[in-house]
Structure 1
């Protein structure tokens, strides 16, 4: 006859006494009774943590607004804001308002900026109608019609 594994032999020799059985039942009963309370406790701790975080964020907002109020009580800050936001100046001051930063006379494409009015030679109405006409009558797939700049 083949030899039994050690765990099988241990389980075969295992005997439950009345005391061990009653203790096991008490542990199971305690788990059944305490599990809902433990679940409630964990949920409440999570809610408390979320509320504490919201209180902390609200306190940061209050601190920021208090600092803003303190800044606005300073006459120098009020003067600086009036000069920056409303372009107020003292009588006799000479100010310059720069609109746009043209970066040494170059536009976004790196081409020189011209002060002359330029007209294009493209008839945009004809170009629009031709693209609509071509899109309606073509048998090409969308991948074939995709612009090289849009393709990836």
Structure 2
């Protein structure tokens, strides 16, 4: 019987160096061999399970935290606006407590007078030269019509109802040339 002998260590090293130098050999990876090289211990499995569990627990919590922070920022902005409105209302209240302001507002808005005063309200105090003239047309295309629109509407409806014949437009067919002579 012939005994198999192991190749010398130098020959084996040469074969390995040839494999690493060959680019085609590096591209093809045996997945079973690669996965077989990974050894998982019980501790690693437990730790990976804890990491996955922590991700499932923390992701919704972080989302809730971000939503709440956005709501808090929106409410703080609303409080700032309300504070500004309160400050404006307090300023108006302080003005309304001033007798000079009340007197001025009553005279200007409500036309109140003090006892013994005579108040004249002039409605049209401009002369004909000072009165604003009619403005020019905005453009040449848009102008005010010289007739009443209601009469134009009635005339248009009446003419449409009294028409002898109605023509329907045909798409793609040109209109016949009009004759120059009188029609019979």
Q: TM-score range by the shorter chain?
A: 0.5 to 0.7
TM-score (norm 1): 0.58
Q: Hey, what's the Cα distance between the residues in 1 that align with 2:40 and 2:98?
A: 83
Q: Hey, what's the Cα distance between the residues in 2 that align with 1:26 and 1:134?
A: 89
Q: Hey, what's the Cα distance between the residues in 2 that align with 1:138 and 1:75?
A: 78
Q: How does 1:107-126 map to 2 (within 5 A)?
A: 107-110=133-136, 122=147, 124-126=149-151
Give the direction of change, closer, same or farther, for the CA distance of 1:94–1:138 in structure 2 (3 Å limit).
farther
Q: Give the structure 1 partner of residue 152 of structure 2.
A: 127
Q: Hey, what's the Cα distance between the residues in 2 that align with 1:67 and 1:125?
A: 54
Q: Give the structure 1 partner of residue 3 of structure 2.
A: none
Give the direction of change, closer, same or farther, for the CA distance of 1:59–1:17 in structure 2 (3 Å limit).
same
Q: How does 1:8-19 map to 2 (within 5 A)?
A: 12=34, 15=38, 18=41
Give yes or no for the alignment of 1:4 onto 2:29.
Answer: no
Counterpart among 119, 125, 131 of residue 105 in structure 1: 131
TM-score (norm 2): 0.50
Deviation of 1:72 after TM superposition, in Å, equals 0.2
Q: Hey, what's the Cα distance between the residues in 2 that align with 1:47 and 1:100?
A: 58
Structure with bigger gyration radius:
2
Q: Hey, what's the Cα distance between the residues in 2 that align with 1:98 and 1:138?
A: 58
Of the structure 1 ranges 12-21 and 27-36, higher mean CA displacement relative to structure 2 is found in 12-21
Give yes or no for the alignment of 1:75 onto 2:91.
Answer: no
Q: How does 1:79-90 map to 2 (within 5 A)?
A: 79-90=103-114
Per-residue deviation, residues 68-111 of structure 1 (Å, max 9, x unmatched) = 11000001110110111012234446655456999942335159
Q: Which runs of 5+ in 2 are unaligned?
A: 1-21, 138-145, 170-184
